[in-house]
């Protein structure tokens, strides 16, 4: 039996490649939790999770002071057992953000070991449905970008054959949101999906009002219109509009996804592997969504999510926001509007160890 002999965690800062703003905040850097796990047979695993500027040191403390010591002597292949063991040891802080972020860094490292040990890439180890998945772009749609540039970015994505673009909404004026969406639709035509994202900035009443104004533009979805805890508001909104409602990046438990799905409050599930606590619970949410005949289009982390979306039958899109180029040697392959899950055994991320070492902050 293979056993874990050592586990270490670091906090690494990765600055954004371009300015990113939405209706609630600016994204200036990614605080990245990196966990390395060693085994007695020489197979090592690396996992990670992130925050967008706050809380990284708190999650690192949870890893170093509590969770990592529970791994020594355990079989890394027992991902379900280890996830539950670590989760049960954090009852005072779960369900919650810090527990989820810390667990995700460990769990993704364990899946890295599991996939390397089997000799299979993650997309096959986790299910193996298909290797290529449709891609949509977010980098060209941030809220601060003026309308003419928004159109230029959307046209550039369409010219590459990408299947969709996201436009951030939540401008003070409804008319400005509508003008931006209308300009992009007029530019790209009907063959490119347009998604809009309000980043939890609206009340239910305002989201219902804006959805009615957005409907003529045939949107792919209306993302995070309300605070994530407002399930009833999302349910009211979903019943009032033909636009699919997308939620998930700010949901931290399987049970919360179940409530959204049971109440018909989510048409697209955007489960984030870091915020749900790792690959182990991510797959459970994806299969739960499949049972409700709902598609999965995860939030962010394209370098990891490309393999998970490829693993499942109800994966719809990967979100294009490159964030690991500064600390990796390879980018995900993109051809004909699709992202291709890597074939390397493990997570498939080829890390630049020297650059990671240069960016350690704790």
Q: What is the DSSP string of 97-116?
A: HHHHHHHHHHHHHHHHHHHH
What pLDDT does residue 154 have?
A: 97
Q: What angle do CA 164, 170, 174 make, to 5 degrees?
A: 100
pLDDT band, very low/low/confident/very high, at 27 (cuts 50, 70, 90): confident
What pLDDT does residue 54 have?
A: 87
Cα–Cα distance between 257 and 281 in angstroms, integer?
A: 11
Query: Average pLDDT, stretch 48-66?
Result: 94
Helix, strand or coil for residue 67?
Answer: helix
Residue 26, pLDDT above cutoff 90: no
Instruction: Provide the token pair at 304.
Output: 């990891």
Q: Which residues contact 351 (CB under 8 A, 6 or more apart)?
A: 46, 327, 328, 329
Place of tokens 């979805």: 221
pLDDT band, very low/low/confident/very high, at 71 (cuts 50, 70, 90): very high
HSE, side-chain direction, 13 A CA sphere, residue 238: 21
Domains of the chain: 4-119 (3.30.390.10), 124-340 (3.20.20.120)
Q: Is 320 among the catalytic positions? A: no
Instruction: Provide the token pair at 94.
Output: 């779960």
116, 163, 166, 168: the catalytic one is: 168
Model confidence over 117-150: pLDDT tens digits? 999 999 999 999 999 999 999 999 999 999 999 9
Cα–Cα distance between 248 and 296 in angstroms, integer?
A: 10
Model confidence over 188-230: pLDDT tens digits? 999 999 999 999 999 999 999 999 999 999 999 999 999 999 9
Residue 53, pLDDT above cutoff 80: no
Tally of CB atoms within 10 A around 86: 25
Q: Is 344 among the catalytic positions? A: no
Residue 172, pLDDT above cutoff 80: yes
pLDDT band, very low/low/confident/very high, at 319 (cuts 50, 70, 90): very high
- Residue pair 277/103 in contact (Cβ under 8 Å)? The answer is yes
Residue 317, pLDDT above cutoff 90: yes
Q: What percent of the chain has pLDDT over 70?
A: 100
Task: Name the helix (H) or strand (E) containing 202.
Answer: none
163, 166, 299, 305: the catalytic one is: 299
Model confidence over 8-20: pLDDT tens digits? 999 999 998 888 9
What pLDDT does residue 34 have?
A: 98
Cα–Cα distance between 33 and 106 in angstroms, integer?
A: 10
Residue 42, pLDDT above cutoff 90: yes
Model confidence over 82-98: pLDDT tens digits? 999 999 999 888 888 99
Cα–Cα distance between 213 and 207 in angstroms, integer?
A: 10
Nearest to 67 by CA among 30, 24, 107: 107
Instruction: Provide the token pair at 164.
Output: 């969709």
What pLDDT does residue 160 have?
A: 95
More confident residue, 21 or 246: 246
Nearest to 100 by CA among 220, 343, 277: 277
- Residue pair 347/108 in contact (Cβ under 8 Å)? The answer is yes
Model confidence over 235-284: pLDDT tens digits? 999 999 999 999 999 999 999 999 999 999 999 999 999 999 999 999 99
What pLDDT does residue 91 have?
A: 86
- Residue pair 196/214 in contact (Cβ under 8 Å)? The answer is yes
């Amino acid at each position: 039996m293979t056993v874990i002999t050592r586990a270490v965690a670091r906090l690494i800062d990765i600055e954004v490649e371009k300015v990113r703003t939405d209706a609630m905040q600016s994204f200036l850097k990614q605080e990245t939790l990196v966990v390395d796990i060693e085994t007695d047979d020489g197979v090592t695993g690396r996992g990670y999770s992130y925050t967008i500027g706050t809380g990284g040191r708190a999650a690192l403390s949870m890893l170093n002071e509590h969770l990592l010591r529970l791994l020594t002597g355990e079989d890394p292949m027992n991902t379900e057992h280890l996830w539950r063991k670590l989760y049960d040891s954090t009852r005072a802080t779960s369900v919650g953000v810090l527990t989820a972020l810390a667990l995700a860094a460990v769990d993704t490292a364990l899946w890295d070991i599991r996939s390397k040990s089997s000799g299979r890439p993650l997309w096959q180890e986790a299910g193996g449905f298909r290797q290529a998945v449709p891609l949509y772009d977010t980098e060209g749609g941030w809220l601060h970008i003026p309308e003419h540039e928004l159109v230029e970015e959307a046209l550039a994505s369409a010219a590459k054959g990408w299947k969709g673009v996201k436009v951030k909404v939540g401008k003070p004026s409804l008319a400005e949101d509508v003008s931006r969406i209308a300009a992009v639709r007029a530019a790209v035509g009907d063959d490119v999906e347009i998604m809009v994202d309000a980043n939890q900035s609206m009340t239910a009443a305002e989201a219902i009002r804006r959805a009615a104004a957005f409907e003529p533009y045939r949107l792919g979805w209306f993302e995070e219109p309300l605070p994530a805890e407002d399930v009833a508001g999302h349910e009211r909104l979903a019943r009032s509009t033909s636009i699919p409602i997308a939620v998930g990046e700010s949901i931290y438990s399987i049970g919360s996804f179940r409530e959204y799905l049971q109440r018909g409050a989510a048409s697209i599930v955007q489960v984030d592997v870091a915020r749900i606590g790792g690959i182990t619970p991510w797959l459970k949410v994806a299969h739960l969504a499949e049972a409700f005949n709902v598609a999965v289009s995860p939030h962010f982390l394209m370098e990891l999510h490309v393999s998970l979306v490829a693993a499942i039958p109800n994966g719809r899109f990967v979100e294009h926001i490159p964030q690991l180029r500064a600390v990796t040697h390879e980018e995900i392959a993109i051809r004909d509007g699709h992202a291709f899950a890597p074939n390397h055994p493990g997570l498939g991320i080829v890390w630049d160890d020297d650059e990671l070492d240069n960016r350690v902050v704790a």
